[in-house]
Structure 1
Amino acid sequence: MKHLVPPDFVVPLRLETPDFVLRPLLITDVVKDYDAVMTSVAQLQSIFSRQTRWPEGLSFEDDLIDLGWHHKEFKVRRSFAYTVMSYDKSICLGCVYINPTDLTGYDAEAFCWARSSHPHLDQPLYQVLKSWLQTDWPFAAVAYPGRTLTWDEVESLKS
């Protein structure tokens, strides 16, 4: 089993900003996560459109399974999914994913999205993610497919 980060790296469990809190995505987040996902289908498809039609057809049970998978991957250090929560914990504002990559020249891929009801958080979330990965994570180069790399560039960099 390949880990995304070195064994001695302490994985951050929380990041607070003036607008939101990042913390690991857990199965207990399923109700708020499902609401955020299903109210942002078109937006999510535009972000991940080259990879999948997700979340089209996603059931509540499917989301629970996905969250269980994300939770397990986090625990075994293969990938890291974070929920973006409001400070009062009333609403999931989006998600962040830090994944292994097969792209030449990069040692991780990162994605983020803010729910469609909060589009003003998309750029701040992306900027926070970029800064956080540069300062607090052990990556030399992170790819941001669909943001700093076009999907055609992503395809050309696959090893």
Structure 2
Amino acid sequence: MSWLPDDFVHPVHVPLPGGRHHLRPVREADAPLDYPAVMGSRERLWTVFGPAWGWPAATMTFEANQADLLRHEKEIAAHQSFNYALLDEAETALLGCVYIDPPAKAGADGEIAWWVVDDLVGSEVERALDALVPQWIAADWPFEQPRFLGRGISWTDWLALSAHPDA
């Protein structure tokens, strides 16, 4: 059984309030924008995602990042998982990402996490994303028990949960 209904159509453009930023599915072609965003915020991102995902490694190359984005693009097309890039209106800067994944741990039907680049921590853009994501998930995604990693549950508590029976 799939984690999403067969007829589910994922959103392809999600505006943030204010109209200057939006989310869209990440693509391999985003690597020139994604790599500097990730590596420029790598130390902070490692403190958030490193213990759970082992990402982003200090040694990650541009080519490894590009391969990772290609994997995400293929997973999105297959509805296996979703990675949305946070972009400025002209798509000249990647400013963060939102991950929507099947549950790895029991007690949820979807697991959601997100981040912004260091320069946007504490900013109006980060606050808008923090407000948007739970509302967007409730309105546009078919989850009954979404789990917001690092938000509704700490990463430490999430790591301690039992594995999801389908994971």
**Bin of the TM-score, shorter chain as denominator length:** over 0.9
Aligned counterpart, 1:157:
161
Aligned counterpart, 1:36:
37
Aligned counterpart, 1:58:
60
Shift, 1:152, TM fit: 3.1
Shift, 1:53, TM fit: 4.7
**Bigger mean CA deviation after superposition, 117-126 or 58-67:** 117-126
Secondary structure in 2 aligned to 1:5?
Answer: coil
**Aligned partner (choices 105, 108, 112) of residue 107 of structure 2:** 105
Paired amino acid for 2:88: S
Shift, 1:105, TM fit: 1.6
Secondary structure in 1 aligned to 2:96?
Answer: strand
**TM-score, structure 2 normalization:** 0.88
Residues 99, 112 of structure 2: 8 Å contact kept = yes
Aligned counterpart, 2:13:
14
RMSD: 1.5
The question of 1:147 aligning with 2:148 is answered: no
Aligned counterpart, 2:25:
24
Cα distance in 1 for residues equivalent to 2:155 and 2:65: 25
Cα distance in 1 for residues equivalent to 2:2 and 2:63: 28
Structure 1 gaps of 5+ residues are none
Aligned residues: 158
Residues 4, 79 of structure 1: 8 Å contact kept = no
Residues 4-37 of structure 1 show CA distances to partners (whole Å, capped at 9, x for unaligned) of 3111111111101224110010011010001111
Structure 2 gaps of 5+ residues are none
**Aligned partner (choices 76, 99, 103) of residue 74 of structure 1:** 76
The question of 1:130 aligning with 2:131 is answered: no
**Bigger mean CA deviation after superposition, 70-79 or 145-154:** 145-154
- The equivalences for 1:75-90 within 5 A come to 75-90=77-92
**Bigger mean CA deviation after superposition, 118-127 or 57-66:** 118-127
Cα distance in 1 for residues equivalent to 2:157 and 2:139: 25
